[in-house]
Amino acid sequence: MKLAISPLGEDLERIKSQQIELIRKLKHHDEWKYWAAAEVQKVGDSTNGLRTSEAVSITEDFNNRYALQLRNCVGDFLWEQIRFNLDLSKILKGLQSPTSQLIEAAETCPNTKAKTCRKNVRNAINGLQSAPQDINNLLEGSDQLQETQKQSNQCLDKTLKEYAEERAEVERQLQDIIDEYLESKTPNN
């Protein structure tokens, strides 16, 4: 069991560190809100508030579309993580009592007859018969979870790149709104 649990612990650490990276990438959405507010303010100031609603519509549509893509990127990972954590908890709880019984049986051996000791240890081990397969199932589940997590990270990277590229176009659209307004206010010569 110890040999199987060590790799599982390593997998869980890798999953945790990658999860921190996923969360860091998802926090870009907060920055998008500030960018949109600044752009809307710029349009509002430049157009005396007359074209603010148009700027709000453009920035909200843009940010909402990409926020949905970000959520879609991590949806499968989050679902698999919940399932994996439930399985992990169930298996660890299931191993807790038989492990405690085995420890107790082993600790009482010096005070009991050899036959009684073997019987108590054998009974305690019976409760751990499924442990190797359970741990192996967790290892397979952690491998799958890591793969899904990797795909989520790739999806997030692609989405963030596309957002950055399209954001320049949105900024141009907003500048066009300002320019159109200013041109409409300029007297014809």
* Selection from 162, 186, 170 nearest residue 67 by Cα: 162
Residue 188's pLDDT is what?
63
Q: What integer is the mean pLDDT of 2-17? A: 81
CB 32 within 8 A of CB 63: yes
Mean pLDDT of the chain: 91
Q: Domains, the chain, ranges and CATH?
A: 2-185 (1.20.1270)
| pLDDT per residue as tens digits for the range 156-175 | 999 999 999 999 999 999 99
Least confident of 22-36, 50-64, 160-174: 22-36
Q: What is the DSSP string of 76-123?
A: HHHHHHHHHHHHHHHHHHHHHHHHHHHHHHHHHGGGS-HHHHHHHHHH
| pLDDT per residue as tens digits for the range 121-157 | 998 888 888 888 898 899 999 999 999 999 999 999 9
pLDDT interval class at 119 (50, 70, 90): very high
Q: Quick check: 69 pLDDT over 50? A: yes
**Which one has a higher pLDDT value, 39 or 94?**
39
**Which one has a higher pLDDT value, 179 or 94?**
179
Q: Quick check: 10 pLDDT over 90? A: no
Residue 189's pLDDT is what?
46
CA distance 15 to 150: 10
